[in-house]
Amino acid sequence: MLSAARIVLVRHGQSTYNAEARLQGQADPPLSDAGRLEAERLRAFLPPFDAVITSDLRRASETAALLGYPDAERDPRFREIDLGEWAGRLIADFDEGEAAWRGGSLNPPGGETWAMFVARVGGTVDELVEAGRTRLVVCHGGVVRAALSHITGADPRGIAGPANTSVTVFRIGARARLETYAWTPAVSAT
């Protein structure tokens, strides 16, 4: 186990929508074959965790299971931003600098604003910080960016999206602080 209390966020493995460059939001596509392999590779690099939470969306819970936690607590507050009518559309259809999933001002019809999303994720992260225990949370790229923005105050438009199955670590103390952002294991070219 890690020596100090931490929140360890792992973005899910590649989904079928990721492979097609489609927006997901709260749509529920499964992992792709590549995503399952990514999760299996990452498992060897993670220490064991006593407390594991996952988004209730399939791509996150499948990743948690492949990391060795099929019975992880499912928490819908760790879902990706709700993209309403945009879910399933190609990412190329949008100006990346303005879209809600990047913290911009353009919001999806029937979905969540970035401010609503950060309030949801931030409140949930605050609960984990107050608990002061090390937790593994398997979630989504937007959740990782929203947590980072909430904890550090960083402008979300300046935060690169984390890669699939990347690891972000916050140390818990008088206040949480970022230790690692979007780390992925090196993959040998064999």
In order of 7, 86, 96, the CA distances from 109 in angstroms are: 32, 8, 17
Residue 28 contacts residue 56 (beta carbons within 8 Å) = no
C-alpha to C-alpha distance for 179 and 161, rounded to whole angstroms: 17
Active site residue 150: no
Helix, strand and coil percent figures for the chain, each rounded to 5: 35, 20, 45
Q: What residues pair up with 82 in beta bridges, in sequence order?
A: none
Amino acid identity at 116: M
Of 38, 62, 80, 112, the catalytic one is: 80
Active site residue 20: no
Give the pairing of strands 135-139 and 52-54: parallel
Per-residue tokens: 95: 């100006």
C-alpha to C-alpha distance for 32 and 13, rounded to whole angstroms: 8
Of 12, 38, 140, 150, the catalytic one is: 12
Query: Which residues are the active-site residues?
Result: 12, 80
